[in-house]
Copies of this chain bind each other. A is one copy, B any other.
Amino acid sequence: MKAIMVVGDGMADRPLRELKGKTPLEAAEKPSLNWIAENGVCGIIDPIAPGVPPGSDTAHLALLGYDPFKVYAGRGALEALGSGVEILPEDVAFRCNFATVDDHLRVIDRRAGRIETDDASRLAEGFKEVTLEEHPEVQVVFKNTLQHRAVLLLRGHGLSMMVSDSDPQKVGRLVLKVHPLDNTSEAGEAAEIVNGLTQHLHEILKNHPVNEERKKRGLLPANIILCRGAGKLPDMTLIPLQYGVHAAAISAMPLVRGVCKAAGMRLLVVSGATGTYDTDVVAKAKAAVQAIQSYDLVFVHVKAPDVASHDGKVQQKIKMIKKIDEMMGHVLRNVNLDETVVVVTADHTTSLSTREHEGDPVPVAIAGPGVRIDEVREFGERACARGGLGRIRGVDLMPIVMNLLGKVKKFGA
């Protein structure tokens, strides 16, 4: 028995007046998702805990079977891992954004107009590795990933991850001074380094030829690097060791890739999987169908519904849900359903109204041999709430799936 688990990022939502009180998932045509609900057991999941808005990192840790309250140690290291940056247990890693600020360091755009990956790469060329005059013992590694996203690593002995963010998270605010979150000298040193580095990179970026060029093209300059989510590598039992399975993951999002890699999953590269609206879901489906030949567990993540919610685009979100449905259709037509458990869920609710992650539960449906099929016939937030799984926690999903594969060790005799 094998399992394919599909996560629509931020796919769950709240009812919208403009959809006549339906959620985007309820409003979308989705025959394949409905098929899974109709032929499976459904439920709702609190990714972290009831009412707690999850991050994509903590939610994915939970969906892969880890208690995020125990293992989570910041976004930075996971992002780095997912970006192919080699990260050592001592490293302090930050999730960074290329952003736009004015001369007073007031944030104009947190994503520098969602700068294209090409431009970001050219900007980052100048500071892949930086040596700090005042801290020559610390190695600084910078790597841009997708669009405005980047990773910063501080490599040195005994550096602390207990520092605040420079990213103020809101347009119109000043870039924040990073400060230590405890009284150790290690935290003080790390804060000092990030502040110095922020200033240093701003100097390099503000008159950078690429930015001059962007301005001419009417685009926002990426003239600062905002840091957040300082973290170290989490201490996790790998999925292959925990359950004795081979596992692979398909995702275009570095943070999710990082969680999957930290969990011991093989990261597959799918050409055309972009993490944006134009992502090629059929390419993802084909990759999943191929991967399930050699892996016991294949995890597929689609980022775009979350992007649509953050952008407040109702119809775009519905369109992305239809694309996920199309992807599932391809999977369902091409795997052996007599020996495959198919799971579909979301990592969190992203509300089109608030444009934020919310702590509402997400729907889940599990179809496959041995499943206690319930009476739910539609994959939606409210339909699934009446399902046979009831209300579970994110951390419970992986054991439930692995139990269907006969891979959970008996506790007791």
A412 adjacent to B68 (CB under 8 Å):
yes
Contact with B along A351-366 (1 / 0, CB 8 A): 1011011111000000
Residues on B with C-beta less than 8 A from A219 are none
Give the CA-CA distance A48 to B411 in the complex, in Å.
8
Contact bitstring A51-70, B, C-beta under 8 A = 1, else 0: 11111111101000000100
* A360 neighbours in B (Cβ, 8 Å): 372, 403
Verify A374–B382 contact, CB threshold 8 A.
yes
Question: B14 to A372, Cβ gap below 8 A?
Answer: yes
Q: Could you tell me the distance in whole angstroms from the C-beta of A396 to the nearest C-beta in chain B?
A: 4
- Whether B390 and A390, one on each chain, are in contact in the complex, defined by CB atoms closer than 8 angstroms, is yes
Please give the distance in Å from A351's CB to the nearest CB on chain B.
Answer: 7
C-alpha spacing A154/B45, complex, angstroms = 47
Residues of B within 8 A of A323 (CB): none
A412 in complex: contacting residue of B56, B358, B372, CB < 8 Å: B56
* A413 to B58 Cα, complex, angstroms: 7
A229 contacts the other chain (CB 8 A) = yes
List 22 A-B pairs, Cβ < 8 Å: A15-B371, A15-B373, A50-B393, A50-B396, A51-B398, A53-B408, A53-B409, A53-B410, A55-B411, A57-B413, A58-B413, A74-B413, A75-B412, A95-B413, A228-B413, A353-B370, A356-B406, A357-B410, A358-B403, A359-B403, A374-B382, A385-B390
Chain A interfacial positions (CB closer than 8 Å to B): 14-15, 21, 23, 44, 48-59, 61, 68, 72, 74-75, 95, 228-229, 255, 351, 353-354, 356-360, 370-374, 381-382, 385-386, 388-393, 396, 398-403, 406, 408-413
